[in-house]
Amino acid sequence: MYISLLRRVWLWLLLLRVVVAVPKLVVENDDRKVVDVAEFGFLPNGRLSLNLTHLKWQDPSKPGTGAFYIRKGRAVQDEYVSLPEEEQSLPIHYDTRCFLNESLIADEVNDGTSIVRYLPEHTSELQETFYVKEGEEGIWQVLFVSCKDSAVSYELLIEQINPNGNYLSAGDIPLPYVYMVSSAAYVTATLYWLSLLVLKRNQSQVFRAHWLMLVLLLCIIINKSLQSVKSSK
């Protein structure tokens, strides 16, 4: 009986794995020079996709442009460690007029540790896809940079996928299994507690508090199951 109930629970969890829409970032009349739009832990063969739409500058006559500045994971770490200690302590000044003009950014692009994709001037859309190569795994950071003295509006859809269609960041991949094991443990405890309440009702007194404990266990099972489903997407 217990095995049959466990199978039903796992079937219920599988049915809960519905497709979840990737949230879209909507920005309106933003005058910030740099916006941190994404940070994700990639494994080799991961994929980063940017889909920019409805790009509109409040004052398009102003000089300058915008760009996506993407810093790669382990490649950035290796490059950083190879620098002298005095250079490691120097911060990147994101609040300057256009920090992409700094020599450090140009060096990163030339070394392949960063990517800069400038926004189109005569269209409001941009689509780019980047694949994580061996040695580039780690935390990738995506920044939207405005080098124009004008507020900007846009919609941005970011898709970050690790191998095998996994939408979890590299450090969060074990979470679904942890929640599933925890849920299974609570299911076992609940079945045992239920057997004590039902099978031994005539042998000992059963109070309302005992049934409330059963309800509490059921709530914990539901919570852990939903956490497992949520973290597996």
Together in a domain, 146 and 210 = no
The verdict on residue 16 lying in a domain is no
Together in a domain, 128 and 36 = yes
Together in a domain, 136 and 227 = no
Which of 161, 196, 212 is a domain's end point?
161
The verdict on residue 52 lying in a domain is yes
Together in a domain, 52 and 117 = yes
Expressed as residue numbers, the domain containing 47 is: 25-75+95-161
The predicted pLDDT at position 175 comes to 64
> How many folded domains does the chain comprise?
2
The verdict on residue 189 lying in a domain is yes
Together in a domain, 156 and 203 = no
Together in a domain, 38 and 123 = yes
Together in a domain, 114 and 187 = no
The predicted pLDDT at position 80 comes to 42
Together in a domain, 154 and 177 = no
CA 130 vs. chain centroid, Å, equals: 16
Distances (CA, A) of 1 to 6, 8, 12, 124, 192: 9, 11, 17, 60, 12
> Tens place of pLDDT for every residue, the chain, 233 residues?
445 544 555 555 444 443 444 578 899 999 888 899 988 888 888 999 999 999 999 998 888 889 999 998 755 444 444 445 544 444 444 444 677 888 888 888 888 889 999 998 888 899 999 999 988 888 899 999 998 889 999 999 999 888 888 777 776 666 666 777 777 787 888 888 887 777 766 656 767 777 788 888 888 878 777 666 655 55
Together in a domain, 43 and 119 = yes
Together in a domain, 54 and 130 = yes
The predicted pLDDT at position 88 comes to 43
Together in a domain, 145 and 183 = no
Write down the pTM of the prediction: 0.61
The verdict on residue 4 lying in a domain is no
Which of 141, 161, 181 is a domain's end point?
161
The predicted pLDDT at position 214 comes to 81
The verdict on residue 210 lying in a domain is yes
Which of 140, 161, 182 is a domain's end point?
161
Together in a domain, 179 and 145 = no
The verdict on residue 13 lying in a domain is no
